[in-house]
């Protein structure tokens, strides 16, 4: 089994900063990519940022220049540095990993989600 555990969510003021972390553990053979998604009630889950094993990052237009995704491959951990958040960034943030487990099965794994609320 594979587990993704997020941490770092909470309340942040507009213009402040917050860091989310996600650690992958379990029967992992290889991680192809990891990323952050977010979802608000009534809307589809959307990609925020991703980082494949090549290291080439990808961002949603709405967060470019404000959020930074980074990773530590050896620790199977990714981070999301959220600078100058806006109220519209309020959402549940989910960690995602496309990986191959030790049975050589490729699939997507999801974390349980962490709430981020941007408010003064």
C-alpha to C-alpha distance for 84 and 95, rounded to whole angstroms? 21
Confidence at residue 75, expressed as pLDDT on a 0 to 100 scale:
82
Could you count the other beta carbons within 10 Å of the beta carbon of residue 12? 18
When pLDDT is cut at 50, 70 and 90, the band that residue 12 belongs to is very high
DSSP 11-23: EE-TT-EEEEEEE
**4 contacts 99 by C-beta, under 8 angstroms:** no
Q: Which residue has the tokens 């089994």?
A: 1
pLDDT at 110 over 80: yes
C-alpha to C-alpha distance for 74 and 51, rounded to whole angstroms? 14
Share of the chain above pLDDT 90, in %: 88
User: 17-60: per-residue pLDDT in tens?
Assistant: 999 999 999 999 999 999 999 999 999 999 999 998 877 899 99
């Amino acid at each position: 089994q594979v587990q993704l555990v997020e941490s770092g969510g909470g309340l942040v003021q507009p213009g402040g900063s917050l860091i989310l972390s996600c650690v992958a553990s379990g029967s992992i053979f290889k991680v192809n990519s990891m990323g952050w998604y977010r979802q608000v009630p009534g809307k589809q889950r959307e990609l925020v940022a991703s980082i494949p094993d090549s290291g080439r990052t990808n961002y949603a237009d709405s967060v470019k220049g404000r959020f930074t995704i980074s990773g530590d491959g050896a620790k199977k951990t990714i981070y999301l540095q959220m600078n100058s958040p806006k109220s519209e960034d309020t959402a549940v943030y989910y960690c995602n990993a496309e990986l191959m487990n030790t049975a050589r099965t490729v699939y997507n794994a999801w974390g349980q989600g962490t709430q981020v609320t941007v408010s003064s």
